[in-house]
A = this chain, B = another copy of it.
Amino acid sequence: MELEIKNLLKQQGFSATKTRMAVLGAILKMQPASMQQLISALPDVDRATVYRTVDLFVELNIAKKVHTGFKYRVELSDSFQEHHHHLTCLRCGTVLDVHTPEIEYAIDQTASSNGFRPVRHDLEIIGYCAQCS
């Protein structure tokens, strides 16, 4: 995975620097990761650089920003892992990943029946997990 992305960066004319690889590593390890989490996990990388690197990753479609609760978090884009949604627990904060064809289908149907051509979508489900219910 790291190698694949390293090549993608070079291919697009960007360097696969240690710093960028460090940010990538943190995203891989913590996803979905908030900016604050990434920043604290990378004490040797400047805050501004973390922001700029994440923005670069988003532009290159390596990562994407999703919402869990009321702030966005960063995770690998759908090109590098299966498209999925998050179930966020209000009590313990656990984030569960789910993939459901039915939801995808319903979303596409709804969009096209409105003459809308969907590019992407973002679904966030908030509630209580099995343990906290």
Contacts and interface: CB of A to CB of B under 8 A. Distances in A.
Size bracket of the A interface = 35 or more
Interface in A115-133: 115-130, 133
A38 B69 CA distance: 22
A15 B128 CA distance: 33
A24 to B, nearest CB: 21
A62 B79 CA distance: 39
A31 to B, nearest CB: 17
A12 interface: no
A6 interface: no
Given A72-B70, A102-B110, A103-B110, A127 B117 contact: yes
